[in-house]
Amino acid sequence: MKGSVIKYERDNIDTDVILPGPYLKIHDYAELAKHAMEGLDKDFHKRVKPGDFIVAGKNFGCGSSREHAPIALSYSGVKAVLALSFARIFYRNAVDGAFLLPIEIDESAYHDISDIDSLEIDISKNEIKNLTKNKVYKMKPFPELIGKIIQAGGLFNYKP
Amino acid sequence: MLNITEKILARASGKSKVSPGDVIFVNVDKVMIHDVSGPGVIAVFEKLKKIGMKIDKLWDPDRVWVAEDHFVPAADKISAQNIVSLTNFTKQFGIKKHFKYGMGQYGICHTLSHEEAMVLPGEVYVGGDSHTNTTGALGAFAAGLGHTDIAYVLLNGKIWFKVPETLYFKLNGKLPDHVMAKDLILKIIGDIGNDGAAYKTMQFGGTGISEMSVESRLTLTNMTTEAGAKSGIVEPDQKLRDYLTAKGATKYDEVHSDADAQYEKIYEYEGSEIEPTVAKPFSPENIAIARDLSSIELDKAYIGSCTGAKLEDLQAAAKILKGRTVKIRTEVLPAAISIFKKAMEEGLLKIFLDAGVVVGPPTCGACCGAHMGVLAKDEICISTTNRNFPGRMGHVESQTYLASPLVVAASAITGKITDPRDLK
């Protein structure tokens, strides 16, 4: 999985900025994508390309349970969010709905990765290659069940 | 040696024991959807049908209940359509417990969960809303989930959880009269941070909690979400039993922690030391003592939401507003119509109207920036609600201060952030 980075160097990027409240009434996924990150970055929808990765600090996706948040990012083209940590509902929505990969990275990778760097992520090796900087970082392995759900392609495809 | 949360989850997964970190599938007792998560679930069902899945019945429609709360009264055409979709959904699948807006009892889902005793002690309850944690004050395991997970529960009656570690918050002694549960939970969130309880359970106990009303306990568990918690919980006691009996609920299977239950960490608070506390923009963890913010000028005061518009919250606000006039625009939206009625019977609505306040119908409304009283650019609001992230209540450059109903009402009188003790 290869893509380039959109980096937000901040913690607690909450669901109110990922997909603001007034759009909660919308359930058309392509329409939601137009409003992704609107509360933080008005230009996100112009900037994002299919296959991009978001890099952010701790507690990404805190706040509401709205699945609109990972949906809006996913339908914008975002394949993974790399963050120091994730809020629990955002994390399970991303995985169970197979919208994007929530990947936990450590402080050194977080500080090292820059905006527009090209990355290659290999979840079978728990490895992130920074193709721009020619470096390799470790990602935190997915817990067993999460790994299985990701492999199955979401909770509905997973057979316990 | 299990605590209440571990015992509920063990029972619901058919195991004699579970430990924090175990990933288990848990049988669900009750599930809730509303006018945002309901249409979200419908969209998931449509997606599944497109890939060939047959969906013609739910696991158990009698364990499902439905609220209309976020965009009601219908904010616009899309919101109106969502209510129609939700109604069609409940008809199609035979869900009988649908609290229709404007038909008998209606209001915010978390408020209905306790007003109508929709969830009982010892149960596993999941809802399509992050503040589902609220209902843990009834001695249940209560957690919020997204649309895919709720759709899975509706079809299978179970869902996976990682058994959470439990943080135990012990309150020694009663809170003073000018202090409310809201002040305590803001103080706690300020101490442990927005992710201080991430993936964990926050359990509340101690003499101060025993003394506290069930409604106040609901304020604590409601805002555990703001510390990232999976759930919040209070063990059942006589106060809870009396509360539930008054609502006609007498049959349930209580769960209690073992005497030697394990907690990851125990935090102690002295009730007498808690001060009127405010969370500044743009995060619930960004707290300050109300008195230290007395120079902050406000445009608006908002008393509403599942967090801060229960009967007790309205009684507290009325105590301050009685015989006074507000200096800034102030809105009061009781969290359910049953509360609205009681407020009317007790004369609280007259006090609000005499003070110059707008009294509105139950709705999540402006709390989540949906509609009805949202904020303009640069407007500053003090609110009894639960979140103050950028744009939460309206324009991304508006500001929200979170506080107790007492502090919000006192601030409405002066137009500045005000400790209720300082009101002349």
Per-residue pLDDT of chain B (424 residues; tens, 9 = 90+): 999 999 999 999 999 999 999 999 999 999 999 999 999 999 999 999 999 999 999 999 999 999 999 999 999 999 999 999 999 999 999 999 999 999 999 999 999 999 999 999 999 999 999 999 999 999 999 999 999 999 999 999 999 999 999 999 999 999 999 999 999 999 999 999 999 999 999 999 999 999 999 999 999 999 999 999 999 999 999 999 999 999 999 999 999 999 999 999 999 999 999 999 999 999 999 999 999 999 999 999 999 999 999 999 999 999 999 999 999 999 999 999 999 999 999 999 999 999 999 999 999 999 999 999 999 999 999 999 999 999 999 999 999 999 999 999 999 999 999 999 999 8
Please name which of A112, A129, A123, A118 lies closest in space to residue A146, comparing C-alpha atoms.
A123
Does the beta carbon of A25 lie under 8 angstroms from any beta carbon of chain B?
A: yes
Predicted pLDDT of residue A29? 96
Does the beta carbon of A123 lie under 8 angstroms from any beta carbon of chain B?
A: no
Q: Across residues A77-98, what is the average pLDDT?
A: 98
Predicted pLDDT of residue B401? 98
Structurally, how many domains does chain A consist of?
1
Q: Which fold has domain B4-269?
A: Aconitase; domain 3 (3.30.499)
Question: Which of A35, A88, A100 to mutate to test binding with chain B, by most B CBs within 10 Å of its CB?
Answer: A88
Of the partner residues A92, A93, A160, the one whose CB lies closest to the CB of residue B25? A160
- Give the full edge-to-edge strand order of the sheet including A127-130: A101-104, A80-83, A53-56, A2-7, A118-122, A127-130, A135-138
* Angle B261-B265-B270 from CA coordinates, rounded to 5°: 100
B contacts of A143 (beta carbons < 8 Å) = 23, 162
Predicted pLDDT of residue B191? 98
The DSSP annotation for B335-397 comes to SBHHHHHHHHHTTHHHHHHHTT-EE--S--GGGGTSSSSPBPTT-EEEESSS---TTTTBSTT
ipTM of the complex as predicted: 0.96
Instruction: Assign residue A50 the CATH number of its domain.
Output: 3.20.19.10
* Residue B207, min C-alpha distance to chain A (Å): 31
What is the length of chain B?
A: 424
Q: Cα(B118)–Cα(B113) distance, rounded to whole angstroms?
A: 5
Predicted pLDDT of residue A160? 84
Predicted pLDDT of residue B256? 98
Chain A residue closest to B229 (CA)? A88
Enter the DSSP assignment of B410: H
State pTM to two decimals.
Answer: 0.97
A contacts of B396 (beta carbons < 8 Å) = 17, 20, 39
Question: Could you tell me which residues come within 8 angstroms of residue A124 by beta carbon, excluding any fewer than 6 positions away?
Answer: none
Tell me the CA distances in angstroms from B240 to A120, A137, B22, B119, B190, one per residue in order.
Answer: 54, 51, 30, 12, 28
* Residue A58, min C-alpha distance to chain B (Å): 8
The DSSP annotation for B72-93 comes to TTT-SHHHHHHHHHHHHHHHHH
Predicted pLDDT of residue B424? 86
Range of the domain at A86: 2-157
Is CATH 3.40.718.10 the right assignment for the domain spanning B279-422?
no
Residue showing tokens 């402080």: A107
Quote the mean pLDDT of chain A: 97
